[in-house]
Chain A
Amino acid sequence: MTVTESEIEDVMATYPPKVLKNRKKHLVLKTDDCAASCPQIEANTRTVPGIISQRGCCYAGCKGVVVGPIKDMVSITHGPIGCGYYSWGTRRNKARADDKTPPEQIYTAMCFSTDMQESDIVFGGEKKLARMIDEVVEAFHPRAINICSTCPIGLIGDDLNAVAKAAEEKYGITVIPYNCEGYKGVSQSSGHHIANNQIMDKIIGTGTDELKGKYILNILGEYNIGGDGWEIERILGDIGYTVNSILTGDSAYVNIKNLHKAHLNLVQCHRSINYIAEMMETKYGIPWMKCNFIGVEATIDSLRKLAESFGDEELMARTEVVIEREIARITPALDQYRKICKGKTAFAFVGGSRSHHYQYLLRDLGMEVVVAGYEFAHRDDYEGRQVIPTIKSDADSKNIPELHIEPDPEMYEEPYLHLNLSKEKYDQMVKEGHFGYYEGMYPVMKDGTVMVDDCNHYETEELLEMFHPDLIFSGVRDKYISHKMGVPSKQLHSYDYSGPYAGFNGALIFAKDVAHALTTPAWKMITPPWEKETEKKEGDNNA
C-alpha cells in the first residue's frame, strides 16, 4: 500500500505546533515527482525533549558500538556504574581466539567500570581511574586499554588524556582515552566519530606486520553480530581475498594496527565508520568501496563490484564460480521460505545502515519495505554522499573534533597503485561512483513509501495503524510494542539471538526466521473462540 502527503499530515495532527514544525522535516514521502533525487530530509539534529525516541548517546556509540567489540583491549568505562553495566555484552559482538589472539587475551565478556561514587564526583575521579588501570594491568596484562568517559566525567573535568598518558608511560602499552560523554552531539553518531578519530590517531598505522595475499581487504563497519563478519570472511576467503581485519567485530588491537597494509577498504555500515575510510584514503591512499553483504542479490553485486575493483579477470571468474556454487546450494531452501514471505510488507527502523541493507534481503524474499528510518543517521545516509558539502554544521556537531589528516610521507601510495589499476581506469571508476561513494537509502525505496528520521514511539504507532505491515524490524524497545499491536517483529540489532544474517548462509537463516515470525501459530489465536463466535467477520485479522 502507499500513502499521500495529507495522510502523513494526519499522523502528526496531535503534535504541539513547535513539535510539528520540527518533526515534519524528518519525514519524506517518496513520490513520482521526486523520484530522481531525494528531497531534503532533516537528520542528525536534536531530539525533541519529552518525545519517546529510540536514540542512545555518544557513549553508547563510542563504547557500545565501536570500541567495545575490540576483543583484546580492556575497555574501562569511567563513570558511575550504569553506563558500563548496560553496554556489557548486550550487542552480541561475537569474538573468538585465533592465531594472533589467545583466549586469555579476550575481554569482550567482561565489564569494567570505575563505579564513581559521590566523593569521586566531588573530588575528581582521576586517581581512582589510575588505580583501576594499575590493577587491571596487573590482573589481565592487556595489550592495550580503552577508557570511555560518561556524562558526569565531562562536567567534573577529569583529565582523561593525562591519566592515559601516564599509564602508557608506566606500562609501555597503548591506553586510549575517549571523551565520549553521553550529552555530546545528538545521538550515538557523535560517539562513532570520536571513536573513529582515536582509532585512526592511535592505532592504525602503528603495526609493522607483513601481510601476505594478493588482495588484502579490511571490512569496516561490520560488528560481527550473530557471526555476520565470519560469514562474509568465509565467502571472501573462498574467492581468494585475504581479510586483514574486520572493524570492529571480532577485531583485535594487534590487527587494527596493520589496517593500513590493506589494498582496499570495504565499508559495510557507512554511518559508523565512514570517517576512518576517508581518513585512511587521505593518509595512505587506500581507496574504499561501499558494500552490502545483506541479501543474496546485494551480496552478489558487492562481490562483483569488488572483483572489478582489482580489474583482474581471474578474480572475476573465481567470483562467478563461488556465486554459482552458493546459489545452487541455497536456492531450493530459500524458495520454500519465499512462498511464505512473498507479497508481505515490512517496516525497518534501525540505527544506521541496516534499515537500508535489509531492504535487499527482504526483496529477495518477495517482501517490500514500506516505511524505513534510521535512529542516528545524517542526511547523506538518506540522500547520498553528494549532499555532504551542503550539510550545515550546527553547534552540536561542532563539538566533535575533526582530525586534520595529511598524506603520510612514507606510507602514502596512490589509490590506483593499491589496486593495481591504471590511473585512467581508476579515475573513471571513481567518476562512476565505484569508489568513495554511497548513494544513500532513498534510491531503494518505492513510490508511496516513507523515510523517517529518528522515528519516535508516537509516529511508529500511527504509521503501523496506517500501513498495517506484516512485520516490523526494530530494536528491542519497539519490539514488544508491535507485538501488542498485533504485528510480528524481528530485532535487527540483535537478530533475536539468531544469525548470521549476512551473506548466503545468513540469507537462509534470515528467511527461516522471518517465515517463522510470520507464521507463528499463536497469531491466529489472539481472539478467543468465545468472542469469535459472536463476531464471525470476514477478513478479520485474527480470524
Chain B
Amino acid sequence: MLDCVPDKPVAHTAGKINPIKACQPLGAMYAALGIHGCLPHSHGSQGCCAYHRMALTRHFRDPAMASSSSFTEGASVFGGGSNLKTAIKNIFQIYNPDIIAVHTTCLSETIGDDIPTIIKQSEIPEGKYVIHCNTPSYKGSHITGFSNMCKGMVSYLAGSDGSEKKRRVNIFPGFINPGDMREIKRIVSELGVSYIMYPDTTGVMDSPILPKYEMFPKGGAKIEDIIDSGNSQATLALGSWASDEPAALLQEKCKVKGIPLKLPIGVKATDDMIMAIKNEFGVEVPESLDIERGQVLDTLIDTHFHYQGKTVALFGDPDHVIAMTEFLITMGMVPKYVLTGTPGSKFEKIINGMLEDAGIEGSKVRAEGDLFDLQQWIKEESVDLLIGNSHGKYIARAEDLPFVRFGFPIMDRAVHPLMPVTGYRGCLRLIEMISDALLDRRDRDCLDEDYELVL
C-alpha cells in the first residue's frame, strides 16, 4: 500500500499530491443545503455538480440535491447567461423550491459570467428567492466556498429593521456535521438564549426515513429567520475560516455584533463559546452544563494514561484542526505534525502559538500542505496516532499507525454525521475514539503475557 512513495525527502513544490482540500463549490453547496427549501445550483458544466453531490452524499449518506447549468462548449465560449436563465425557470417550475442558491465554478469564473445581472434578468416567481456567491476553485478551498455562500446569505437576505436588537444570538456554525449543529443548538438552548443558526443542515443532511418522502425535508434554516438575523443582538462566528467573513459582513450591513470564536471542539473552545454567551446576554450557566463539563474532566483524569504524552499527526480543515490541536494539548498529547490544505498563513501562526504556549517543541506545521508532505514527515520520524479524514487511511496502513477519523470527508465509516464532536459531549466522544484506537493497538501488538483485562 503506497509503496510508491519515496522514503527519502524529495522536492515537492508544484501542485498537490494527495490533497487535504476540495474546491469551493462543494462548500457552497453544503452551506446552501442548510436553508430550508433551498436547491443549490451549480453554474458551470454538470461534472462539477455531479462530483460535489457525490462527495457530500458519500460523507452524509443522505441525498444532496443540486442542479446545474450544464454548460457545453457553446456556453463556455459565449457565456452561460442563457443557461442560467433557463435553469432558473425550469427549476422553479419542476422542483418548486423556495430559494435557489447559485454558486459559480472554475469554468463560469474563468469566462467571467456576471451572475447578479443574470439573476436580475431572470424570471423569479413571486415570493421566491435566488441568491448567489462566487466560488472560483483556483482560490481557497471547500471551506472558503462555504464561507462565501454564507456571505451570500447575509448579503442577499439578512436585513435590519432599525429597531432595537432582539435578545437573540445568530450562530454561524462553520462547515460541521448536522450532529454538531444539533449539539451547539442544544447548548445554547440550555443557556436559555434564543438563536438563529444558519446555515443549518440538521434535518436535511441527517434526515429521517419517514412514511412520506419530501424532496425538501423539514430541516434547514428558515428564510424568514435568515432575514430577521439582522435584528439579532450578536453573532457567534464559529471557526475563523468558515464564519469570520460572513459575521463581519452582517456586522457591517446590520450592525450585529460579531463574536469570533473557535469551533467548540474541546473543553476550552466549548468554555469560550459558553462564556461568550454568558457575557453577551448576562445569563447564568445552568447546572446541567456544569455537570457535563465536570464529567469530561473526570474522564480526562481517569483516562489520561491511555494517551498522555503520545504524539499525533493531525490534518484536515483549518477550523477543525485548530480546535482539535487545542484539545489534544488539553489531553496532554503532543501534536507533532499539523496540516491543513486550505490556504491562510494565520493557520501556522495560530498552531505554532498554541504549541509554544504548551511548551511543545519540534513539531511541524503547514498550511496549504498535502498528505504527501505528511507521509514524508512520518517516514522521517513516526508518531503514535493519526487523526484526520478518510483519506488518511492509506497512510495509516502504509505507516502502520492507529487512526481516528475526524473531519470531512469520512466515506468509509457510518454514523459520524449524526454524532457530535462539538461541546462537552463531543469531548467525551473524542476521548473515547482516541483511547480506543490506542488501546486496540496495544491489545493487537502486545505479547500474550501482557494481554490484560483491566486497562
Contact = CB atoms under 8 A, between A and B. Distances in A.
Contacts of B50: 53-57, 60, 477
Interface string A202-217: 0000000000000000
B207 interface: yes
A191 to B, nearest CB: 9
Interface residues of A, number: 92
A458 interface: yes
Contacts of A88: 18, 391
Contacts of A132: 14-15
Contacts of A111: 16-19
Contact of B139 (A14, A54, A118, A485): A118
A480 B24 CA distance: 24
Nearest to B6: A139
A51 B94 contact: yes
A480 B57 contact: yes
Contacts of A156: 110
B453 interface: no
A44 B95 CA distance: 24
Interface in A182-238: 182-187
Interface in A60-114: 60, 76, 79-90, 102-107, 109-114
Interface stretch (A147-155, A164-172, A283-291, A338-346): A147-155
A49 interface: yes
B275 to A, nearest CB: 37
Nearest to B145: A82
Contacts of B95: 52, 458
Given A477-B54, A485-B213, A131 B13 contact: yes
Interface in A508-543: 526-527, 531, 542
Interface stretch (B63-71, B252-260, B280-288, B319-327): B63-71
A50 B139 contact: no
A155 B69 contact: no
Contacts of B6: 139-140
A82 B4 contact: no
B46 A104 contact: no
A184 B87 CA distance: 19
Contacts of A120: 138
B103 to A, nearest CB: 12
Contacts of B58: 90, 476
B51 A79 contact: no
Nearest to B51: A86
A50 B63 contact: no
B160 interface: no
A14 B95 CA distance: 9
Contacts of B61: 480
B136 interface: yes
A105 B14 CA distance: 21
A396 interface: yes
Contacts of A106: 3-4
B247 to A, nearest CB: 25
Contact of B73 (A129, A395, A480, A542): A395
A479 B57 contact: yes
Contacts of A477: 50, 53-54, 57, 63-64
Contacts of B110: 121, 151-152, 155-156
A129 B14 CA distance: 8
Given A58-B47, A484-B213, A80 B90 contact: no
A104 B94 contact: no
Contacts of B71: 183
B45 A52 contact: no
A16 interface: yes
B141 interface: yes
A52 B106 contact: no
B438 to A, nearest CB: 25
Contacts of B66: 52
A310 B30 CA distance: 55
A138 interface: yes
B229 to A, nearest CB: 29
Contacts of A121: 106, 110, 136, 138
Contacts of B215: 457, 461
Interface string A363-407: 000000000000000000000000000000001100100000000
A50, A76, A139: residue with the most chain B Cβ atoms closer than 10 Å: A50
Interface in B320-368: 341
Nearest to A531: B211
A81 B19 contact: yes
B426 interface: no
B296 interface: no
Nearest to A117: B138
B446 interface: no
Contacts of A48: 70, 86, 90
B1 interface: yes
Given A60-B51, A152-B110, A82 B137 contact: yes
Given A183-B73, A486-B209, A480 B62 contact: yes
B163 interface: no
Contacts of B75: 183
Given A56-B47, A151-B76, A76 B15 contact: yes
B382 interface: no
B386 interface: no
Given A152-B107, A182-B48, A139 B10 contact: yes
Given A48-B90, A52-B65, A542-B211, A184 B73 contact: yes
Contacts of B44: 151
B46 A56 contact: yes
Nearest to A120: B138
A136 B372 CA distance: 12
A179 to B, nearest CB: 12
B26 interface: yes
B54 A19 contact: no
A485 B12 CA distance: 48
B11 interface: yes
Contact of A83 (B11, B17, B24, B51): B51
Nearest to A104: B3
Contact of B16 (A89, A113, A182, A396): A113
Nearest to A58: B47
Interface string A120-161: 110000001101101110111000000000111011100000
A128 B14 contact: yes
Given A19-B94, A50-B86, A53-B70, A81 B12 contact: no
Interface in B1-49: 1-6, 10-19, 21-26, 41, 44-48
B19 A115 contact: yes
B84 interface: yes
A59 interface: yes
Contacts of B94: 14-16, 19, 50-51, 458
Contacts of A396: 72-73
A102 B3 CA distance: 9
B59 to A, nearest CB: 11
A183 B51 contact: no
Given A82-B22, A131-B13, A49 B138 contact: no
A431 interface: no
Contact of A81 (B47, B70, B137, B391): B137
12 contacts: A50-B41, A54-B50, A57-B47, A60-B47, A81-B21, A111-B18, A129-B15, A135-B14, A151-B105, A155-B107, A477-B50, A531-B211
Interface of A: 14-16, 19, 46-60, 76, 79-90, 102-107, 109-118, 120-121, 128-129, 131-132, 134-136, 138-140, 150-152, 154-156, 182-187, 395-396, 399, 457-458, 461, 475-477, 479-481, 483-486, 526-527, 531, 542
Closest 3 CB pairs of A and B: A57-B47, A82-B23, A50-B87
Interface of B: 1-6, 10-19, 21-26, 41, 44-48, 50-55, 57-58, 61-76, 83-84, 86-91, 93-95, 105-107, 109-111, 136-139, 141, 207, 209-211, 213, 215, 341, 391, 394
